Every structure is written in structure tokens, then in C-alpha cells.
Structure 1
Amino acid sequence: MTVSATDLLLYAGAILILFLTPGPVWVALTARALSGGFSSAWPLAVGVVLGDILWPMLAIMGVAWIVSVFDGFMTVMRYVAAGMFLFMGVMLFRHAGATIGTDSRLTRPGRLAGFLAGVAVIVGNPKAVLFYMGVLPGFFDLTRITALDIAAILAISCTIPLMGNLLMALCVDRARQLLTSPAALKRVNIVAGVLLCLVGVAIPLI
């Protein structure tokens, strides 16, 4: 491998931050988990994996070809990558309270429908390949990477979002079960009541 563990770790951190940025996948995943539980949501998460592998691969191939034609392209792309992250950060601050739109086709019931919805929501976004073309050169020298390097990059690109999406689906499913179970709801209310009483007792003593 030509890429270092530090480079991969930094890239993994960037992918994690991007995953934590809400988008259509979050909306569709939450809607499916609320309507059909974890069993309805996990196929969507698996479908998203295809795009999370496809777009970085296309970006790597495209950048490698451009580099072979234009000298100095990698240097320019490093500044583009830095600028892209700065732009995304500023836009998140400016639109922090904006709502996220969704497509009702992404929440159709059924495992196959969920899988296809995951594929559609990620593959149907060609801007993703442009994002990766801007980001990957900021972390790796794409003129020197090997097949093993590419495998590691693709593994990070899909594994982190997959684990995050599955965890989110599981949490929403558990919350759904809690809210629909009278016994669980009663326990939560009892615990909450005890805590409120404790706070009420503690306030005069503070």
C-alpha cells in the first residue's frame, strides 16, 4: 500500500462527518424504520452501499485519467478539496434549520423496494462523483495508489455509512417499539416521574 494509516484515518473521519450531515437517505431510512421497523429499513441501507462504492471508484478512475493528461492537476484538486469542505461547512451554518425533502417512492414497503430505494437515492445523485473527485485528491495521491489502496478507500467509503445507517435504523426501530409498547411506556413514565421528583427535592437544597 502507498497510502498511510493516517491518511485513511483522516479520510474515515471526513466520511463520518459527511454521514452525520442529514440528507434524503436519513429521511427515507427514518420513514421506513418508523413504518416497518428495522426489517424494512436495513435493505435501504444495503442498497446505498452500491453507490458508496460506485462513486468513489468512478472518481478515482476519472481523476487518474485527468492526471495522465494534465500536469499539476493533483495540486489544483487539493485546493479544490479544501475549498469544498469549507463551502459545505459554511452552507451548513447558513441553512442549519432547513428541512429535508424526500420522495415517497423511497418509503414503499417491501425489502426489494427498500433495496432499490437505497440504490436510487445514492446512484440518482451524479453530484456525488463530483464530490469525490474534489475530495479524494485532498487525502491521497491518486497518481501512486495501488489496487490495495483503492480497496481500502472503497471499504471506508461504504462501511462507515452502512454502519451508521444500520445503527440509525435500529435506534429508530427501538424508539418505535418503546412508543407502541404500553408496558415499556409505563416504565419510562415511572423512571421519568422519579427523576422529576428527585429534581424537585434537590432544587431547594441547592
Structure 2
Amino acid sequence: MTISIADLLLYAGALLVLFLTPGPVWVALVARTLSGGFQAAWPLALGVVVGDVLWPLLAILGVSWIVSVYADFMLVLKWIAVLTFILMGVAVIRSADKTIASDSRLTRPGMWAAFLAGLAVILGNPKAVLFYMGMLPGFFDLTILTWIDIAAICFLSFLVPLIGNLVLAASIGRARALLTSPTALRRTNLTAGFLLIGVGLIIPFT
């Protein structure tokens, strides 16, 4: 292993700062939690993990042709994310008066949809792209890294944001559980629906 514990701790601190900077992932996570609670949000956090591992791995490998090909693929994913969030937002708004139990799409089928949404939003997130592809070489000498180093960097790259995202979703989910009146439920669902649509409309400009 060529990198020190101090280097990894510094990198983990930078990842924490990255997480604390609100972006599309935050908005998507809040919207999913408001619409379906923690159960609807944690698959999105797992989808984000894939991108959080992929971006530093691509940065470390430094293969320019992969990046150029992937950029086109990322553009396709961005538009898929736009449609995904807008459709989810419209669906939540249309069922604003329904209880969570009466809308099984927010539990079973929605888990896979949430995972794909998390994947799309992190792969199309310019903040993540800039950090991993632009700033990662500033933390480590990428030319001398061993596979153990790469594994450690990728592990931290998903662990710190994953813990943060799950804590955020759990906190919002607990607060959401207090909203039991039909009026509060309707307002919550309407807010979640408009947030989801907002993510879909913002993604093309990010």
C-alpha cells in the first residue's frame, strides 16, 4: 500500500464535504423519502453507490477513450433520469390523497426504480464528475497506486456518501412518520411530487 492513513483520512474528509454540499442526489433522496419513507429511499442510495465507485475508478485508470465513450453514455443516462424523475413526480402528485399502504409502487416495484434513479442521478451529477475526475489526482499520485490502494479509495468513495445518504433518509423518514393527518399527507405527497419533477427539470442544465 503506497498511500498513508493520513492521506485516506484527508480524502474521507473531502468526501464528507462533498456529501454536505446539496445537489441532485440530496433533492432526489428527500423527494423519495417524503413520498415513501426510508423504504423507498434506501434503494436510491444503493444506486448512488455504483457511481461513487465508478467515478474514482475511471479517474484512477485514466483511460481517456473510456471517458470519451462514457461521456456519450452519460448524456443518455441524463435524459433517462429526466424522464424517470418527472414520471415519478407526476405519479406521486396524482396519488397525493392516497395513504402509503395503498400505493405499492412506492415499496416493491419502486425499489428497482429508485435504484436506477440513484444510478442515473449520480452518473449525471457534474459535482461528482468534477470531484472524482478533476480533484482525485490532487489527493493521490495515481501513477503509483497499487490495487490495494485503489480498493481503499473506492471503498471510501462509496462508504462516506452511503452512510450520509442513509442517515439523511432515516432522519427524514422519522420526521415523515409524524405526518399522519390526511392534510399533512397530501401536502407531503405534493411536495415530494414537485421535488421529483424539479430534479427532472434541473438535470439537463447541470
Common fold by TM > 0.5: yes
Instruction: Say whether 1:104 aligns with 2:86.
Output: yes
State the partner residue of 1:73: none
Within 5 Å, which residues of 2 pair with 1:23-102?
Answer: 23-62=23-62
Unaligned 5+ segments in structure 2 are 65-83, 92-105, 182-206
State the partner residue of 1:148: 148
Structure number with greater Rg is 1
State the partner residue of 2:118: 118
Q: Is the 8 A contact 2:40 2:114 kept in 1?
A: yes
Q: Deviations over 1:151-193 (max 9, x none)?
A: 0000000011001001100000000012327xxxxxxxxxxxx
Q: Normalising to structure 2: TM-score of the pair?
A: 0.65
- Provide the C-alpha distance between the structure 2 equivalents of 1:16 and 1:128, rounded to a whole number of angstroms: 12
Q: Is the 8 A contact 1:106 1:117 kept in 2?
A: no
Q: Deviations over 1:32-83 (max 9, x none)?
A: 11110100000000000000001110011117x7xxxxxxxxxxxxxxxxxx
Q: Residues 5 and 114 of structure 1: is their aligned pair in 2 closer, same or farther, counting only changes over 3 Å? A: same
Q: Residues 175 and 6 of structure 1: is their aligned pair in 2 closer, same or farther, counting only changes over 3 Å? A: same
1:103 positional shift: 3.9
Tell me whether 25-34 or 4-13 shows the greater mean CA deviation: 25-34
1:127 positional shift: 6.5
- Provide the C-alpha distance between the structure 2 equivalents of 1:106 and 1:164, rounded to a whole number of angstroms: 24
Give the RMSD, CA atoms, in angstroms. 2.3
- Provide the C-alpha distance between the structure 1 equivalents of 2:147 and 2:130, rounded to a whole number of angstroms: 22
Identity of aligned residues (%): 68
Secondary structure of 1:111's counterpart equals: helix
Q: Normalising to structure 1: TM-score of the pair?
A: 0.65
Secondary structure of 2:61's counterpart equals: helix
